[in-house]
Structure 1
Amino acid sequence: MKVHNVSDIREIISGELVQGSDDTEVYYGAYRLKQIKNKNTILFISKRIVDWKSLKKFFPMVLVTERKYNKEEIPDNITVIYVLNSEEAYWKFIHHYRNLFDIPVVAITGTAGKTTTKEMIKHILSFDREVTATNRTSNSRTAFLQYLLNIGECTEAAVFETAVGAPGDVLNAGEYFKPTIGIITNVGAHHLNYCKTLEGYIDAKGEMVEIIDPSGVLIINGDDLNTRKIDVKKFLGKIIRVGRNSYCHFKITNSEYSKDGMQFSVQHKNRNYQVFVPGFGEHQVYNALFALAAVNEMGVSIPEAAKRLKSFKKYNKQLQIVDGINGSIILDDTWSITTTSLDAALKVLNEVKLRKKRIAVIGTITDLGSWGYVIHEEAGNIVYQNGVDVLITIGYHASIIADHAVKLGLNTPVYKFNNSTLVYGLLNEIADADTIILIKGDMYTKPIIELAAKLRKK
């Protein structure tokens, strides 16, 4: 955080100093007690603080409040700024702080590929720039303040992942970050427990259009059907489409599996470029395209960006290929699960061709609310369309995947389990050196994570 003293902050938020010194410096910010991790933090809070003893190790501290405290209630080394409304004061400070920096800020949303695209952009830019970015997949509302304050005087670019748990989440992120470049990777079906319908979810993703600077850039997937439903006409800035369609500004003309990743050709402004991206799958090509388009807008040439991309390292458990039990190959994709990412994983299972027998172990898709049955049926359709040699599902809702795939005509062995207890034993029986096993789930489903770890060759 760029250091501010109390005098500066009072002027920004129209506050009255009721205790402490105007010369006190602030290095950190918080709007909840649990966010206070360091000394010299400014806390914006409307609730009355009673337990000062637990905060003592973080003194000195600055409090912005609308509460009227008696002098004896507050320790001496707390600076107190009184305001009429602490929430309004908070947002005044947020807007002031963001406007201190004239740098490119990228915001990324989408059902799948957000984290990988963010990490690719960060990787490419970090060769010669100071970059601030969201940490792994931590992209909740409560983290936004800390990410914003991570922008400092040396920061030359920022890349933030803006997930959707409910309508308004992307708009809220925009209030903090005010992006100059926005990316929508794709729109599948997820978080329907809060968005209620697929249309509501599409609208929630489409909030990206509203938060980008009017003179900024919107980068979208030109091949994704749901993304096309987003109304981009009201966006006044530049729109860049990536994909295979003829109207795409970054057009994929060829892609193929190679050792350790994807080799593809991209056409941009009548020139062709050869690009290699570590990691298997057509979805990885799209992630790379979003990254190339974004950094190109920030002044990195496509050949230079492609050169830097070669050394990109993706996270573990994102279609990670490892040695498994009985000489098998494990395709560990237990990072997250949506119908979009399931389709991508099954395509990789079919295309990698490391082994002849393909086993898919699939867990439950979460955050669907009343849409659970419908979306798991759609997942069953995806399994049927892609095909596997053995299908294993884990969990009550995941069994719907198996039932629907069989109903559609999947004519291979299918096993349904309520939990993962017996799955290892089955795989130990049927897996051999001619087998590749895809295990698909999310990082929050402990039985899936434990099974994936157990299947790896020790």
Structure 2
Amino acid sequence: MKAHTVGEIRGIIAGELVQGTDETKVYFGAYRLKQIKNKNTILFTSKRIVNWKSLEEFFPLVLATEWKYKENEIPDNITVINVINSEQAYWKFIHYYRSLFDIPVVAITGTSGKTTTKEMIRHILSIDHKVTATNLTSNSRTAYLQYLLKIEEDTEVAVFETAVGAPGDVLKAGEYFKPTIGIITNIGAHHLNYCKTLEGYIAAKGEMVEIIDPAGVIIINGDDFNTRKINVRRFPGKIVKIGKKRNSHFKATNIHYRKDGMQFSVQHKNKNYQVFVPGFGEHQVYNALYAIAAVYEMGVSVTEAARRLKSFIKYEKQLQVLDGINGSIVLDDTWSMTTTSLEAALKVLNEVGLDKKKIAIIGTITDLGSWGYIIHKEAGNIVYQNGVDVLITIGFHAKIIADHLVELGFKSPVYKFNNGTLVYDLLKEIVDDETIILIKGDMYSQSIKELAFKLRNKSN
């Protein structure tokens, strides 16, 4: 955070100093007690604080509140600013702070590919720019303040994921970040426990159109069926489409699997560029296209972006290829779990595992609410369409995938387990050096994570 004095902040939020001095410096911000991690933090709160002892390690602190404390109720090294409404004061400060920086700010949403696209953009730009970005997949609404305040005087570009757990999440992110470039990667079926329907989920992702600067840019996947349902024509700025279709502004052609990654051509403005990106799968090509299109808007040529992408390092557990038990190959894709990412993973399994026995281990898809049965049946359809030689499901709801496959007439062996304990014993019996194993789940499934670790050849 760019440092401010209490006096400067009081002027911004129209507050009255009731304890402390205007010369006190502020370097951090919070609106919840648990967000206080450092000294010299300003806390915006309407709640009365009683347990000052628990905060002593973070003194001195600054309090912006409408609460009227009694004399001698607050420790001496707490500066108090009284405001009429702490929430209004908070947003005044947020809007003011964002207005200090005239820099490109990229916001990324979508069912899958957000983190990889964000990291690709950061990788390309970090070579010659100071970039602020969300960490790993930490993109919840409670983290927005901390990410905004990480923009400092030397920051040249900011790149933030704006995930959707419920309608309004992207709009809320826009209030903080006021992005100039927006990316919608794709839209599958996820977070239906709060969005209620697929249409509601699409609308929630479509909020991106409303938060981008009117003079800014929106980058969309022109090939994605659900994304095309968003009315981007109402956006007054520039619309950029990426994909494999003819009308794409950045079009991928001649896509091939190569050692450790994907080789393809990018057609842009009647020119062709050769691109290699580490990581397997056509979805990785799309991630690269989003990144190339975004950095192009910030002045990086396609040629230079392609050169920098060659050294991109993807996260572990995102279709990570490993040596496995009994000489097998393991595709560890235990980062996240949606029908969109499942389909991508199965396609990679079939490409990388050509001429090998293909085993898919699939866990439960979460955050579906009453849609759980329908979406797990859809996952069964995806497995059926892509085909595997052995299917193993782990978890109560994942059994729906297995049962639906049997209903469809799936002829390969199907196994259902409540947890991963017995799966490893089965695999030791049926796996050899002509086998490739896809293990697909999310980072919150302890059973899946433990099994993925056990499947690795211990020399990895």
Q: Which TM-score band applies after superposition, normalised by the shorter structure?
A: over 0.9
Task: Find out whether 1:240 has 2:240 as its counterpart.
Answer: yes
How much has 1:18 moved relative to structure 2?
0.7
How much has 1:219 moved relative to structure 2?
0.2
Q: Deviations over 1:283-322 (max 9, x none)?
A: 0000000000000000000000000000000000000000
Question: How far, CA to CA, are the matches of 1:426 and 1:57 in structure 2?
Answer: 52
Alignment check: 8 A CA contact 1:219 1:240 kept: yes
How much has 1:354 moved relative to structure 2?
5.8
How much has 1:232 moved relative to structure 2?
1.0
Matches within 5 A, 1:125-164: 125-164=125-164
Task: Find out whether 1:171 has 2:167 as its counterpart.
Answer: no
Length-normalised TM-score, structure 1 = 0.99
How much has 1:353 moved relative to structure 2?
2.9
Length-normalised TM-score, structure 2 = 0.99
Which residue pairs with 1:435 in the alignment? 435
Which residue pairs with 1:331 in the alignment? 331
Question: How far, CA to CA, are the matches of 1:337 and 1:174 in structure 2?
Answer: 26
Task: Find out whether 1:269 has 2:269 as its counterpart.
Answer: yes
Task: Find out whether 1:219 has 2:219 as its counterpart.
Answer: yes
Which structure 1 residue ranges, 5 or more long, are not aligned? none
SS of the equivalent of 1:225 reads: coil
Which residue pairs with 2:115 in the alignment? 115
How much has 1:345 moved relative to structure 2?
0.1
Which residue pairs with 1:353 in the alignment? 353
Which residue pairs with 1:406 in the alignment? 406
Which residue pairs with 2:454 in the alignment? 454
Alignment check: 8 A CA contact 1:317 1:333 kept: yes
Q: Deviations over 1:205-232 (max 9, x none)?
A: 0000000000000000000000000111
Which residue pairs with 1:44 in the alignment? 44
Which residue pairs with 2:185 in the alignment? 185
Q: Deviations over 1:79-131 (max 9, x none)?
A: 10000000000000000000000000000000000000000000000000000
Which residue pairs with 2:66 in the alignment? 66
Which residue pairs with 1:297 in the alignment? 297
Question: How far, CA to CA, are the matches of 1:387 and 1:378 in structure 2?
Answer: 14
How much has 1:252 moved relative to structure 2?
1.1
Which residue pairs with 1:34 in the alignment? 34
Number of equivalenced pairs:
458
How much has 1:419 moved relative to structure 2?
1.5
Alignment check: 8 A CA contact 1:354 1:436 kept: no
SS of the equivalent of 1:286 reads: helix
**1:355–1:4 Cα change, 3 Å:** farther
Alignment check: 8 A CA contact 1:240 1:249 kept: yes
Alignment check: 8 A CA contact 1:113 1:287 kept: yes
Alignment check: 8 A CA contact 1:263 1:276 kept: yes
Q: Deviations over 1:32-61 (max 9, x none)?
A: 011111110000000000011111111111
Q: Deviations over 1:351-399 (max 9, x none)?
A: 1136510000000000000000000000000000000000111111111
SS of the equivalent of 1:349 reads: helix
Which structure 2 residue ranges, 5 or more long, are not aligned? none
Identity of aligned residues (%): 79
Counterpart amino acid of residue 426 in structure 1 = L
How much has 1:282 moved relative to structure 2?
0.3
Question: How far, CA to CA, are the matches of 1:166 and 1:103 in structure 2?
Answer: 28
Say which is worse superposed, 247-256 or 332-341, in terms of deviation: 247-256
Question: How far, CA to CA, are the matches of 2:128 and 2:221 in structure 1?
Answer: 28
Question: How far, CA to CA, are the matches of 2:56 and 2:411 in structure 1?
Answer: 66
Say which is worse superposed, 175-184 or 229-238, in terms of deviation: 229-238
How much has 1:406 moved relative to structure 2?
2.1
Counterpart amino acid of residue 258 in structure 2 = S
Counterpart amino acid of residue 170 in structure 1 = V
SS of the equivalent of 1:64 reads: strand
Counterpart amino acid of residue 26 in structure 1 = V
